[in-house]
Amino acid sequence: MELSQLKIKGKYYLSLTIPYDRELINQAKSLGGHWISDRKKWLFPYSTNLTRKLELAFWLESPAKQNKIRVPAEYLALLERKRYSPNTIQTYCSLFSQFLNYFKEVEPSELTDSHVATFQTHLVKEKRISTSSQNQYINAIKFYFEKVLGRDKRNYHIDRPIKEFKLPTILSEKEVLTILRSVVNLKHKAMLYLVYSSGLRAGEVVNLKISNIDGEKMRVYIRGGKGKKDRVTILSQKALEILRDYFKKYMPESYLFEGQNGGHYTTSSLRKVFQNALRAAGIDKKVTLHSLRHSFATHLLETGVDLRYIQELLGHNSSKTTEIYTHITHKGWAKIKSPLDLLDL
């Protein structure tokens, strides 16, 4: 099996060669492949994200990686049967394969909690990973031990790291305005307007269909968001006006924001759009696209919107997740006087 790039009439595609096998053919079709008989290849729209999905689905590896252990087939199969998102599958397989490669001489089914403890020490002391990354490694390993091997959860003891409490960095209303004004491309402007005005995640924006925008009720319908949950959030009047201009110019067919080679826009491209806008605006804060979502929630809270509504708009399962924004907003602090200033010194 071989994966390569192919240029046809000025457009780039991913070219995949696989043996004739019904299961492999179905896999190629499910990922949007089209069989080109004269070339004897499967063609896919080019994207970095799809490249990784194909590598994962067909176990395509570079020569430098061929001596590395791959995750057991039943591990990947179970992730897919449980309908984990492509991003989660990619992350779990990548992290779990690192664990397996750390103990190359040990059969995966023979690995124990002591191996996990040793591996965690390696991650913390040598790789110096964050606690959130450490938790991801543990979850990937636990999935194999508990879901694939069926080990009893009660007998599976791993000291999980203490979760750090970090406040997200937000942008002020003035900074958001400067960023949005710096964007010239109409499609890019429309996407960033939606992220901020509706509190959307990157993946939710690129997966929006035209039918998900309701200009009459001023709603945005999110289908299969994080945790495969549907939800409804607000649609800004200004965002709607930009969307209407964008639609007239680009005329998307299915996805609201389509890539150059068809299909939906990629999250990596959307994040680059934000970083370019950040530079154009002259803002040197260490923020990401997700900071616009954090800013959406914080600014709503500062205008007096009830925390319960904000939780619903963001799609948070727990109110505790939304409560973090109460630690960020400083509105009203000007009226608070230090007890020192109340003393008659």
SS3 at position 186: helix
Task: Please indicate whether residue 226 is annotated as part of the active site.
Answer: yes
Read off the DSSP letter of residue 168: P
Bridge partners (DSSP) of residue 285 are none
Task: Please indicate whether residue 290 is annotated as part of the active site.
Answer: yes
Task: Please indicate whether residue 128 is annotated as part of the active site.
Answer: no
Task: Please indicate whether residue 122 is annotated as part of the active site.
Answer: no
Task: Please indicate whether residue 75 is annotated as part of the active site.
Answer: no
Residue 344 backbone zone (phi > 0: left; psi -120 to 50: alpha; other: beta): beta
Can you give the three-state secondary structure of 62-110, one letter per residue?
CHHHCCCCCCCHHHHHHHHHCCCCHHHHHHHHHHHHHHHHHCCCCCHHH
Could you give the C-alpha distances from 227 to 135, 203, 222, 286, in angstroms and in order? Answer: 17, 12, 12, 27
- Say which of 70, 147, 231, 316 is annotated catalytic: 316
- Say which of 189, 264, 293, 299 is annotated catalytic: 293
- Say which of 70, 226, 231, 271 is annotated catalytic: 226
Task: Please indicate whether residue 196 is annotated as part of the active site.
Answer: no
Radius of gyration of the chain (CA): 24
3-state helix, strand, coil in the chain (%, to 5): 55, 10, 35
Beta strands in 167-268 (DSSP E): 213-214, 219-222, 231-234
- Say which of 201, 264, 294, 299 is annotated catalytic: 201
Point out the residues that are catalytic: 201, 226, 290, 293, 316, 325
